[in-house]
Amino acid sequence: MIKSYNDLHAWQKAMDLVEQIYRVTRLFPKEELYGLTSQIRRAAISVPSNIAEGHCRSRREFVHHLSIAQGSLSEVETQLEIAKRLGYITAEQKQPLLAMAGEIGRMINGLTNSLERHATAV
């Protein structure tokens, strides 16, 4: 039974991704602190934040916030590719983060589909 947003597996996995993003971005050049480092951290934080905020709202608003979370996840994936191209991370560092993002994306899609099915069944 889902009583709180932190019971949602998508939120839990998104929190794990935030932790991993913070770990890998600690190694970015200092001149990127207000650039790519800040951008990728904010995008990662946006994913569980929107899941949490949406959970506390109506079903329609929850679906909207899940869509925002999905967009933020795409930002993270893009920014990871930028970091790799700039030589800030290796392919070996990028791959598990992309795998996490993919899993979270599938969870968000599943949650969205479930909410939309439930809305049409009511």
In this prediction the pTM is: 0.94
If one counts the domains in the chain, the total is: 1
Instruction: Please report where in the chains the tokens 């599938």 appear, as a residue.
Output: 106
The pLDDT profile of the chain, 122 residues, written as one tens digit per residue, is 678 999 999 999 999 999 999 999 999 999 999 999 999 999 999 999 999 999 999 999 999 999 999 999 999 999 999 999 999 999 999 999 999 999 999 999 999 999 998 767 65
Q: What is the CATH number of the domain that holds 48?
A: 1.20.1440.60
Question: Alpha helices, DSSP H only, in the chain?
Answer: 9-25, 36-55, 59-85, 91-121
Enter the tokens of residue 74. 């795409």
Q: Is 33 helix (H, G, I), strand (E, B) or coil?
A: coil
Count the Cβ atoms, other than its own, within 10 Å of residue 47.
30
Domain that holds residue 68: 5-121
Q: Which of 122, 24, 120 is nearest to 79 (CA)?
A: 24
